Amino acid sequence: MSDSTAGIVMIVIGILVVMEGRIPIGGNLPGDLHFHGKNWHIFVPLGTCLAASVIVWFVLRLIAKR
C-alpha cells in the first residue's frame, strides 16, 4: 500500500471516530457490551470492532489486488 493510500485510510478512520455518535449503527450491534451502575457506565464495543475490522480487511484486500 502506498503512503498516500495509508494516509487516506487513516483520515477516513479519524472522521468515523469523530462522528461515532452520529452514525446510527455505531455501538448498537449485537455483541456490544454495556455495563452501568448508579454512578458509572462502561461500554465495550466488541461487535462494532469486529464489524469494522471485517469491513476494513475487505476494503484493503480490494485495494491490494490492483
Please state at what angle helix 46-64 crosses helix 3-18, rounded to 10 degrees.
Answer: 160
Per-residue pLDDT at 1 exceeds 60: no
pLDDT for res 24? 61
Model confidence over 12-42: pLDDT tens digits?
Answer: 887 777 776 666 655 577 888 889 999 998 8
What is the model's pLDDT at position 25? 57
> Mean pLDDT across the chain, nearest whole number?
80
Residues 6+ apart with CB under 8 A from 64: 1
Cβ neighbours, 10 Å, residue 8 = 13
- Does the pLDDT at position 46 exceed 60? yes
Q: Which tops the pLDDT comparison, 20 or 4? A: 4
> By C-alpha distance, which of 35, 24, 31, 22 is closest to 54?
31
Distance from C-alpha of 49 to C-alpha of 27, rounded to nearest angstrom: 9
Set of cell numbers at residue 46: 466488541
